[in-house]
Structure 1
């Protein structure tokens, strides 16, 4: 495909999410941006490597015919490929839509129809099966891209391809048009739509909400001003990336402050991975904290008297230290 002409307004690229990524890759190319645990080993991606993969995926989308304003859905667990797909879509003016990984087929079809999605990035066989089940209800859906190949051998469907295949398309496109990615990147304005999110659906079926780059970065600036984060700090991304709260911290704040985002190996290993990483900052809804406290209290009651005494002593001293820090003391 030939590169198309598009609006090249002179915006400030560092005031957009992919623009911030480009700046991080330039200023701190060798610093770790993303870390994913796979087969028990943490795999690291630097800021430069992060940008390279975003560039490859973005240009792969261009090669597939994705245009400015097209909607790109993403569904799956938290993985580097999620944010790579999101930022890749944003880099060319497409609109990413995050979907919850536990959505049933009917819910998935409704949101894909509402967004008129042209392409969906689905994590694995489970998510691909759900998409294939409802594909007839979404006539505009041309491509299904998966990034976990386990169980996908032998699958044949129009437009079904791997994440790596899209990146390879982008690499070849970039060889032919080496300046196309940068040209599209600088054309993105802070006021452009960066993300489509679903509402909670508490009063009716979920609806689509549009958030701009400026909106997301304004929230991130407020977050970082209240709880300062900086390069070298660690964050564990385990809440759904379809949720705006995780987007605000795990994507927007990470790009703004430059801290490292870690992705757990599996849902069941989240707590162990959190202990291993020792994040400088965590954000969760109250129910998550309540479950953690409940589990710890149960374990404390079931242990030996000595360990129970140590737990109570440590909690008492920890509360005292936390209150002193909140009050500005040492």
Structure 2
């Protein structure tokens, strides 16, 4: 791990490594849309980041500028974040349910000049407070549904920005690579704002060193592998989701899947069957309570089966997570319980 971080010390450098290492052979992320899982390989991930980054640069994004991102967990959020970093800019996330007052404060406080908004709902928030955000020059939306009638000159479609990137590459073919190579371990990589429940949100300034060391330390006690699956359903504005969805995924190369919508998270988790889940205690408490209520309402036979199967499941899961082969008796018990 230390050797990897010594050579690939930023998110854009790790992405370039993964694109070269895995190419089109491995899925980097999935998104469920209209009931169908859409897959993106590491090569596609890299290309979206590259051309969106070049597009932002062609629109005037400079090193040190700030890029605010608001919306649900989607591939475009991740692409926009790493693209901003590749350009030497600093991304920051806003919670999708933030009020107009919170959005206005964070964007203004951070001196953001670009905003990436997921859809019509989030674009409307920004346009409603646009007069309070004199530093914002461009608003990019990722979902064009409902946006046809919008004529504000500062609005651009995500794909349109990528097209600008293709054009800039023709003029300056080395621009992206040079920018990525200029990135350093100690560079400011991300500003994470608190939820602001006890006052105005506060921004924590995090370097690539902070973000990557955090993930590397976690993996020392809880190893991750490139064959693993992860479902990203907690807000990407939260540092915990950043550690998993970006830091850990880029370090190891595991696949990240994004649910179709918040209401389908549990269904989508069942479909993917992730090896890794990372959540605050409240999420686990809610899941446990749901299971316990169902067990209490079950027949006495099912309760007995549950009590017998639970320790078997724990033992089997521990063996699998340690990449050990379960002993034959445990395998038989697990198959009976499953």
Give the TM-score of the pair, scaled to structure 1: 0.91
Q: 1:6 is matched with which residue?
A: none
Q: 1:21 is matched with which residue?
A: 15
- Counting matched residue pairs gives 320
Q: 1:270 is matched with which residue?
A: 265
Q: Which runs of 5+ in 2 are unaligned?
A: 328-338
The higher-RCO structure (CA 8 Å, 6+ apart) is: 1
Q: 1:175 is matched with which residue?
A: 170
Q: 1:260 is matched with which residue?
A: 255
* 1:299 positional shift: 2.9
- Bigger CA drift: 197-206 or 298-307? 298-307
Match of residue 215, structure 1, among 189, 207, 210: 210
Q: Report matched runs for 1:272-311 at 5 Å.
A: 272-303=267-298, 306-311=301-306
Distance 1:239 1:178 in 2: 37
Contact 1:13–1:185 (8 Å) recurs in 2? no
Contact 1:112–1:138 (8 Å) recurs in 2? yes
Match of residue 190, structure 1, among 168, 178, 185: 185
- Bigger CA drift: 22-31 or 81-90? 22-31
* 1:298 positional shift: 2.5
Q: 1:153 is matched with which residue?
A: 148
Q: Which runs of 5+ in 1 are unaligned?
A: 1-10
> SS of the counterpart of 1:97?
strand
Residue-by-residue CA offset, 1:276-311 (whole Å, 9 max, x unaligned):
111111110010011111122223344455544433
Match of residue 97, structure 1, among 92, 95, 101: 92
Contact 1:75–1:98 (8 Å) recurs in 2? yes
* 1:203 positional shift: 4.7
Distance 1:174 1:232 in 2: 33
Residue-by-residue CA offset, 1:51-73 (whole Å, 9 max, x unaligned):
00000100000110010011000
Match of residue 47, structure 1, among 42, 46, 51: 42
Give the TM-score of the pair, scaled to structure 2: 0.89
* 1:260 positional shift: 0.6
Distance 2:32 2:319 in 1: 35
> SS of the counterpart of 1:111?
helix
